Structure 1
Amino acid sequence: MSTETYPYVKANVFAQFKFKSIGPNGTIKKMVTYEMVGTLDEGIPLFNPGFGDYKESEQHYSDLSISNNDDKQKVLATIASTALDFTEPYEKIAIHAVGSTPSRTRLYQMGINAFKREIESRFKILGYKNNRWREFKAGVNYEAFLVIKK
């Protein structure tokens, strides 16, 4: 990944990653999780990522928190980096992403657009719109995203 990322620690559970966002609102703990939600055709495992501010007291993350820590690009790059790390051992794997709110889905789309070339080198990118999956194109607003490892 060519964009700077935050260092992160992979938790004992393989599909869980923690890192810290550092900015004007202080140091904010973040968590990314990947949960298997089913399989695609041909048995390709399908995972859903979860992301948010990590609440140590609850041992969980909040996907509705708004940090505004002036590091959106670095946070998105870090999430992308965890996806690469998570998918590395799999020959075929798919990740389905949709935000917890429409604005978060737009944020995911901005991240996909920002790293489109890098993502496409390893994954096929699809966007969901009008009840069907189609090849991802910049400038089209999608309801959800699917990346499938090539």
Structure 2
Amino acid sequence: MDEPYYPYERPITEIRYDFRSISQEKEVRKRVIFTALDSPNIYNLALVDVLENGSMSDITETRNKDMRIVLATVIRIIDDFLHQYPAAIVLFRGSDERRQRLYRLIINRELSEIQKKFIVLGGFDDLQPESFQADQQYDYFLILNAV
């Protein structure tokens, strides 16, 4: 077709990674979703369970006794995502206070390793983010490439 046409965009608003949490009791489909936010280069990260009916939930408790493996997988996924999109900033927060505390503890425990490749910030809803500090209770976390 040689008709003139208008330029168009196909924005990428969602990028996803799928994996399975496996134990002797069950297998749970997991999904990590990166969704573009209104701010340039900022992507929200969501870790969800894909339920049997195909819906997704970020509040279910898998209880598959493999939390360390799941979180290590998520860290690898963040690494892959930031390798593909080097200017991106990943924002995430827990869906409840318990998960938010868990994320803070994991970042604190792994901070020296994480900082070899990434910058980690903690943020408050009404203030600028700051370098992650273990004793702060942040509203959200940011991870970006160190280079």
For the superposition of Structure 1 and Structure 2, which TM-score range results when normalised by the shorter chain? 0.7 to 0.9
Which residue, out of 136, 139, 146, partners 1:143? 139
Unaligned runs of 5+ in 1: 1-12
Q: Percent identity?
A: 28
Q: Tell me if the contact between 1:127 and 1:142 (Cα under 8 Å) persists in the aligned partners.
A: yes
Count of residue pairs brought into register by the alignment: 133
Say yes or no: does 1:110 pair with 2:105: yes
- Runs of 4+ with deviation above 3 angstroms: none
Which residue, out of 52, 56, 60, partners 1:61? 56
Change beyond 3 A, Cα 1:68–1:143: same
Residues 28-43 of structure 1 correspond to what in structure 2 (within 5 A)?
A: 28-39=28-39, 43=40
TM-score when normalising by structure 2: 0.80
Q: Tell me if the contact between 1:50 and 1:63 (Cα under 8 Å) persists in the aligned partners.
A: yes
Higher relative contact order (CA 8 A, sep 6+): 1
User: What residue in structure 1 maps to residue 17 of structure 2?
Assistant: 17
Say yes or no: does 1:27 pair with 2:27: yes
Alpha-carbon deviation of 1:56? 4.7
- Aligned CA RMSD, in angstroms, stands at 2.1
Q: Which one has a bigger Cα radius of gyration?
A: 2
Q: Tell me if the contact between 1:51 and 1:61 (Cα under 8 Å) persists in the aligned partners.
A: no
* CA distance in 2 between partners of 1:96 and 1:149 (Å): 13
Q: Tell me if the contact between 2:120 and 2:143 (Cα under 8 Å) persists in the aligned partners.
A: yes
Residues 97-136 of structure 1 correspond to what in structure 2 (within 5 A)?
A: 97-129=92-124, 131-132=126-127, 133-136=129-132
